[in-house]
Each structure stands twice: as C-alpha cells, then as structure tokens.
Amino acid sequence: MIELRSEEMQDILTRPPHILVRSGISTICLILSLLFGGSFFFKYPDILTGTVVITTQNPSVWLVAKSSGKISELNCSNHSLVEPRKILAVIENPAVTADVNQMKALLMQSSISDSTLSFPHELLTSGYELGNIQNSFSSFVKSATDYENFLLLNTTQKEKEALIRQITDHRNYSDNLRKQLELKQEEIKVAQSVYKREKQLYDKGINSKADLENAKSAWLNVQQSLQQLRTNIAFDKMDMGQLQESLFQKDIQFQRDKNNFLSELKTAYNELLAAIESWEQTFLLVSPIEGTVTFNTVWTNHQFVTVGDKVLAVIPKQQGALVGKIQSPTELSGKIRTGQRVNIKLTGYPYMEYGTLQGTVETISLIPENNNYTIDIALPDRLKTNTGKVLNFTGELSGQAEIITDDRSLFERILSPLKYLLREHAK
C-alpha cells in the first residue's frame, strides 16, 4: 500500500516537471506537423513491370514447320549466308522437289492469252513426281492439250470454210438465175409482140383463130416460165440468207468454244499455281530475306519435326536500329506516357553484375491484344548498360522492363484510398 502522505511521495508531487516532459507534447506535435507537411513534398513514381523483347527494326525470321515429318533435305549449314527465296529445308512428302521446281520454272515460261498460246515442250511431256500437286497438274495438261487440239483441228473453221464454198456456189447460181431472168424478160417481150401481131392479123381476117391461140399460148408459157424463174430467185435468196446466217453462227460458235477452252485452261493454270504455292508453304522452309541462318532444334537430315516447331531462324543482313517490345497489362496502361524512362533487366545478363539498359517509351499500341498493350521502347545507348558494359546481341534478347511513371506525393497516395472509401460509403 502506497502512503500518499509519506515524505518521499510529497517530494515527487511537489517537484517541477523535467524540461523534456514539459516540451514533449510540443515536440510530438512539431514532428507530426513536419511529417504531414513533408507528405506534400516527398514524391516517388509508380513502377510498372512487364516482359520485354529486344529485337531490331528488321527482326529475325523464324521458319515454322507447317506439317509433321522428317527433314528430307537440309540445304544450308549453321551460320551460313542465304539469299531470299532460297529453299533451306524440305519436310518429307511424296513429291520430288527437283521435279516441282522444274515444272514451276517451265510453267512460268508459258504464255496463255487470247492471242498467244505457247508451252515448253517438256512441260506437257515429262513424267514428273508431284505428290499432292499431281491432280492439278494432270488437269492443266488435259486443258492445255484440249485447247491445242481445238486450235489445231479447228473443225468449226473447216465447217465455216465449207459454208463459204457453198455461198460462193450459190452466188454463181444466183448470177445465172439473174441472166436467165434477163433472157426471159426479152423472150416475153418477143412473145407478147408476136401475140399482138397475130391478133391484128386475126382481126383483119388474115390469120386463123388457131394461129392466134398458138401465139397466145406461147406468150402465156413464157410468162409462166418467168414467174417460175422469179420464184426460184426468191428461194435462192432465202437459201443464201440461211447460209450467211449459218456462217455467222459458226463464227459465234468458234469464239464461244475458244473462250470455253481458254477459260478452262486459265482456271487449270491458276489452280496449278495455287497447288504449287500450297505445297511450298506446307513442305518447304524458304528464306524470305537475305541473312544468316541459325539452327535451333534441327541441324541434320532425317530429324522429325511437328506442326508449329521453330525449325530455323534467319537473322537479316541489315537489321536496322534496336527496339524493345514490352507487353504491359491493360490495368495500369493509363499511366504510361511517351518519353517515360524504362529500366531493362535482361534474362541472360544478371543486372547486379552487368547493370540495366536505359530506354524511353516511344509508342503505345492503340488497342490491346490478349489484355496486353504493346509498347515500343527506344534504346538511345543501344546495348550499353548503366555500368558502361556493352552486351552482345544475337538477334533477340528478353527480360523484364520497369517503366517509371509520373511522380506522386505521399499525401496523394494516402488520400486516394480514403477518398475511395468515402465515396463507397456515401453510396
């Protein structure tokens, strides 16, 4: 039990407080005021992270297998220089690559148009092994042969020539009919004159009635012959019109048949080209650019590849400037602005030893893909790190990127969640 009236307790209660105790409240208030005021001035940025791939403006090209099978032909070596359109590898298939290439080269030398038609002789006569292309090639050969035979035999043209000969004969016949008509017209004049003279003589009683009747009969016979001749001329004109119509129809038929054969040939030609292109895309690995080949999972013949395998890569000869590609989630993409600083930590180069690359945000994609925006990063110092080391570039580098966004004060960071809670509570 504490005795409040004891002499020791009285000394403690009557002793003045120490200066630290007297000024403690003021000190605490001052410290809190400094911290509160400092929260307005103390700022630090948000850091957004994302995966980054460093490549070039002309990036390396991966050749991906479009079919499964063994590599039957490997036409390059690791780190060898290749030209555009060079066949680097062939995936096993029924076609003979040399036959397809030869057939395609001959096909490119062919000319198919309304006015000209020419094929290299070997194109239609050689026995190629074309695998999946064989059906299209057979259709093309058939169409080409049919069209050549049509132009060579040209039965329509021969029928047309026969009609022209008939028309010529009819014209000669028509000329003869017109000459006969002229003679008949002269003959009827004579018969009419004889009849008139006999009638005058009969009226004078010089001739007998029989003589008058014979003269009239002769005149009527000539009139009948003239009418028959005119009928024959009319029929001849009808026949001539029919022959000329048939000749015109032969021209139309010839042009129609020619267009049909030519259309079938052009269709077969285009389908063959499409079949060749499909075969090339499926079984060939072709270099699209000039550059250096680098092997990945395949380095010799008879290795098996499956659809989607990255078989070879071609590093372009002219790579251009380096550029970084960052995949940033859509949740924080609104904070990203062009010109913001970016720190890049590469996977193959530990940043504690090699340092980090420095870059700036150059462009931001307008729409996301798979909930990620693509951000282009400029690298003004290329592959020189902040520690002065220059890294080796082998075509592509990957790592993590940190985008330094705008600074925000500590007060704003504390106040933002409070505002949010107040708004939610008000609802």
Domain 60-86+287-318 CATH assignment equals 3.40.630: no
Boundaries of every domain in the chain: 7-43, 47-56+323-426, 60-86+287-318, 94-277
Buried-state track 170-187, b at ≥16 Cβ within 10 A, e below 16:
beeebeebeebeeebeeb
Q: What is the mean pLDDT of residues 391-410?
A: 77
Query: Is the predicted pLDDT of residue 274 greater than 90, yes or no?
Result: yes
Answer for the pair 313, 60: CB distance below 8 angstroms, yes or no: yes
- Average confidence (pLDDT) over 374-389: 87
What does the chain come to in residues? 427
Whether 343 contacts 402, CB under 8 Å = yes
Lowest mean pLDDT among 276-280, 304-308, 344-348: 344-348
Q: What is the percent of the chain with per-residue pLDDT over 70, rounded to a whole number?
A: 83
pLDDT > 90? residue 392: no
Residues 255-280, mean pLDDT to the nearest whole number: 90
pLDDT at res. 323: 85
Residues 15-61 have pLDDT tens digits of 555 555 556 666 666 666 666 655 555 555 667 788 888 888 778 88
Is the pLDDT confidence value at 357 over 70? Answer: yes
Right CATH for 94-277 from 3.30.70, 1.10.287, 1.10.3470, 1.10.10: 1.10.287
Q: Check residues 27 and 222 and name the one with the higher pLDDT.
A: 222
* More confident position, 341 or 121: 341
**Per-residue model confidence (pLDDT) at position 1:** 47
Which pLDDT score is estimated for 145?
Answer: 87
Banded model confidence at residue 134, pLDDT cuts 50, 70, 90: very high
Residue 89 in this model has a pLDDT that exceeds 90? yes
| Distance in angstroms (rounded) separating the CA atoms of residues 416 and 423 | 11
For the residues 332-359, what does the mean pLDDT come to? 84
Instruction: Please determine, for residue 74, whether its predicted confidence score (pLDDT) is greater than 70.
Output: yes
Return the pLDDT at 83: 92
Average pLDDT, the chain: 80
CA gap 11, 328 in Å, rounded = 71
State percent of the chain over pLDDT 90. Answer: 17
Count other Cβ atoms within 10 Å, centred on residue 318: 10
What value does the mean pLDDT take over residues 304-328? 86
- Containing H/E element for 254? helix 209-283
State yes or no: pLDDT of 127 exceeds 60. yes
Between residues 210 and 294, the one the model is more confident about:
294
Predicted confidence at residue 397, as pLDDT, reads: 86
Does residue 272 register a pLDDT over 90?
A: yes
Mean per-residue pLDDT, 406-420: 59
317 DSSP assignment? S
Any residues with CB less than 8 A from the CB of 142 and at least 6 apart, and which?
Answer: 268
pLDDT at 184: 75
155 versus 322: the higher-pLDDT residue is 322
The residue that leads in pLDDT, 105 or 243, is 105
User: Which tokens is 79 given?
Assistant: 């780190």
The class that CATH gives domain 47-56+323-426 is mainly beta
